[in-house]
């Protein structure tokens, strides 16, 4: 079994008399407030400008070379945002799948994570993250993720945003993501068990919203919680039986929508289970 990386030291408490942020990961029921210290913008901005490092020697799933090979494939497939590519190089995907599937972790394929859910293909996740960041100043501010799943995309978002609120409606998956992410001690990700269709008004407005499940339309609550100038990326079933990737940009005058390529995500559902 591949052992997780040793814990990283916790950040010091923010100045200005505010209480320290909750230790990662914070399990937040809907309606619970959270401190918003955030990661220093200078460090995250520096990461965003760093190019993908060259391949290094090594073997095994815990080798950086394995992840970098995946990153090179993503670049060959058209992903150009350096910050997105570097996030994929840093986050160990094999830590988010069952040990029996670990050998497939860095292939461009979706994998089951239990309870009828999947971890999306790296190329699809990279495409959505790049759309979220397109034309924006990095790091993004506070971002809402709908559908935590196993926690992999939340870990990637932590390298692109100052703060990530990630919602999951299935308690078992919420707890699995918590277990997956806890050893990594990522300070700017907060996990919320709740109905993602309602969004999370406590954290609004958001600098971005990204969803890992698709319904017949984009929920009105998500649009209301999107900041002016911010972007939403989500699948939606605009035609019967056919999902498409949709990008919604909020402007001072309303919403601008782009419908892109066809995709296939699990259906968006309301309530918790």
Instruction: Confirm whether 130 is domain-assigned.
Output: yes
Here the CATH number for the domain that contains residue 91 is 3.40.50.150
Supply the range of the domain harboring residue 149. Answer: 26-31+41-51+63-267
**Rounded mean pLDDT of 51-71?**
65
Instruction: Confirm whether 17 is domain-assigned.
Output: no
pLDDT tens per residue, range 242-257: 999 999 999 999 999 9
Instruction: Confirm whether 4 is domain-assigned.
Output: no
Instruction: Confirm whether 13 is domain-assigned.
Output: no
CA distance 273 to 168: 10
Kind plus residue range of the DSSP H or E element containing 177: helix 171-181
Average pLDDT, the chain: 84
* More confident site: 61 or 86: 86
pLDDT tens per residue, range 164-216: 999 999 999 999 999 999 999 999 999 999 999 999 999 999 999 999 999 99
- Residue pair 138/45 in contact (Cβ under 8 Å)? The answer is yes
Instruction: Confirm whether 1 is domain-assigned.
Output: no
**Secondary structure (DSSP) of 207-237:** EEEEESEEBSS--HHHHHTEEEEEEEEEEEE
Q: Check residue 123 and give its pLDDT.
A: 98
Q: Check residue 62 and give its pLDDT.
A: 65
Count of domains in the chain?
A: 1
* More confident site: 5 or 61: 61
Instruction: Confirm whether 20 is domain-assigned.
Output: no
Question: Can you read off the two tokens belonging to residue 165?
Answer: 């609120």
Of the candidates 44, 13, 4, 22, the one whose C-alpha atom is nearest the C-alpha of residue 190 is 22
Instruction: Confirm whether 15 is domain-assigned.
Output: no
* More confident site: 148 or 23: 148
Q: Check residue 47 and give its pLDDT.
A: 40
Q: Check residue 238 and give its pLDDT.
A: 85
User: Choosing from 15, 42, 120, 240, which is the catalytic residue?
Assistant: 120
Is residue 120 annotated as a catalytic residue, yes or no? yes
CA distance 87 to 104: 19
Instruction: Confirm whether 12 is domain-assigned.
Output: no
pLDDT tens per residue, range 28-38: 443 333 333 33
Q: Check residue 239 and give its pLDDT.
A: 81
């Amino acid at each position: 079994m591949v052992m997780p990386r040793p814990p990283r030291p916790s950040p010091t408490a923010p100045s200005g008399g505010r209480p320290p942020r909750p230790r990662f990961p914070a399990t937040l029921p809907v309606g619970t407030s959270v401190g918003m210290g955030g990661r220093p913008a200078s460090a995250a901005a520096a990461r965003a400008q760093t190019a993908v490092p060259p391949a290094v020697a090594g073997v095994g799933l815990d080798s950086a070379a394995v992840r970098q090979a995946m990153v090179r494939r993503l670049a060959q497939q058209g992903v150009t945002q350096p910050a997105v590519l570097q996030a994929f190089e840093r986050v160990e995907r094999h830590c988010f799948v069952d040990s029996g599937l670990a050998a497939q972790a860095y292939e461009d394929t979706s994998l089951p994570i239990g309870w009828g859910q999947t971890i999306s293909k790296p190329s699809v996740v990279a495409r959505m993250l790049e759309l979220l960041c397109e034309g924006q100043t990095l790091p993004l501010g506070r971002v809402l993720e709908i559908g935590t799943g196993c926690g992999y995309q939340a870990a990637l978002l932590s390298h692109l945003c100052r703060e990530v609120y990630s919602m999951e409606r299935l308690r078992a998956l919420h707890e699995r993501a918590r277990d997956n992410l806890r050893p990594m001690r990522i300070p700017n990700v907060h996990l919320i068990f709740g109905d993602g269709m309602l969004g999370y008004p406590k954290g609004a407005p958001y600098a971005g919203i990204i969803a890992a499940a698709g319904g017949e339309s984009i929920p009105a609550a998500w649009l209301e919680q999107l900041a002016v100038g911010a972007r939403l990326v989500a699948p939606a079933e605009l035609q019967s039986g056919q999902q498409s990737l949709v990008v919604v940009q909020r402007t001072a005058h309303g919403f601008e929508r782009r419908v892109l390529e066809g995709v296939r995500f699990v259906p968006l559902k309301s309530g918790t289970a």
